[in-house]
Amino acid sequence: MTPPSAHPDAEPKQRFRWGLAITIALVGVGVTVLGSLLFGEEDPDAYWASAIVNLGTTIFLASSLVWVERVLVNRVRVTTRKVATDAADEAATRAAKAATEQTVEALMPRLDDLDQRLRDRQNSVADEVATRAAKVGESGSFENLHSALSDADALNALARPRQGEDAWSTRGVEVIVPAGDGLSAPRIVTTLVPDGPGRTRTLTLSYENAGRAHRRAMATWVEGESPEDVFVKLQEAMIAEGLGSRSRELSVRVFFENLAGVVGDAILARRAADGAWLSGSPVIELVSNGLAITTEGVDARGVDGHAAERAQFGSYDSRVVSNIVGYRVSHDPPDGVTNEAWLSALGRATGHYVHQSTRW
């Protein structure tokens, strides 16, 4: 194992061959002495002078060659090391790039598949809850209605119970729908009472009177009771309040059809499902087919967002009774909405938004 202090590029040391060096030196001395015996007898001084000059020249050349050799070796070594390093870096880069491309190629199909699975799951869930809501219009059972309203409650798709003189809960959801054909049909508020420990699952139906005091006539619906039972109780409560003629106008069939439709549409809009026509704001009231009041504005089928924003309805002037200031909603209906339905929606929305004692 290489010690931590050792340089990673250090060359291994080689043993100096003393025997070879001594042999070469002795051979050189022998050749010089032999030359003196053979050629230096006539003029020894000239021979040794020449020998010394040759020896100095040889030493100079040898040292020069050694220096040049070292320089060349170092340059070759640096160049070789750089080429090897560049080649290794390039190979590593190519390998990393290839690995990344393989990883991306392997992941992309799975990610694309994941996106499709998520879209399919969202559509499946939206279809499932819409189907549960649609069952309300088919059977009108307590179980189906409670399940649909619970789905809407979990998504905040419907308005919370109103605040003010007729408030009784700060939890749960409620929605208003016509219980008959036409804009003048009686309107019923359906409220989901939140579940709690030791509390019976409960719904309430109450007669809605132009956005105010909708608890004047109310019926409590508990599990096990039929739709007929609860509507009999509601009619009796309306009769007791002097609303006998209005009670005779109630249509249970239309009520459940409208309720199933608006709850399903509100859930689909909240989930931003394909084909949803509502804006996604919690729904307060279904005015007519394709026209609804939400907590943030009036929605109309075919209009993106709100056909009329809540802020456009202004507020009551505290100095003058019943005087609304800041009202700037156009009375021209959107495409596909009748003038009568639009004016009815604006009147009812004004009651929901502006009246100080009944507001969401």
- At 212, the pLDDT band (50, 70, 90 cuts) reads very low
Say yes or no to pLDDT of 62 above 80.
no
Distances, alpha carbon 66 to alpha carbons 25, 73, 77, 79, in Å: 18, 10, 16, 20
How many structural domains are present in the chain? Answer: 1
Q: How many CB atoms lie within 10 A of CB 230?
A: 20
In a domain, 123, yes or no: yes
The residue range of the domain holding 169 is 80-307
In a domain, 23, yes or no: no
In a domain, 237, yes or no: yes
Separation between Cα atoms, residue 42 and residue 284, nearest integer Å: 136
Q: How confident is the model at residue 58, as a pLDDT?
A: 72
Residues in CB range of 178: below 8 A, 6 or more apart: 185, 186, 187, 254, 255, 258, 286, 288
In a domain, 38, yes or no: no
In a domain, 344, yes or no: no
What does the mean pLDDT of the chain come to?
79
- At 173, the pLDDT band (50, 70, 90 cuts) reads very high
Q: How many CB atoms lie within 10 A of CB 201?
A: 17
Average pLDDT of the residues in 88-103: 70
Separation between Cα atoms, residue 60 and residue 203, nearest integer Å: 114
Residue type for position 17: R
Query: Nearest CA to 123 among 275, 277, 290, 282?
Result: 275
In a domain, 48, yes or no: no
In a domain, 283, yes or no: yes
Q: How confident is the model at residue 168, as a pLDDT?
A: 45
DSSP 181: S
In a domain, 189, yes or no: yes
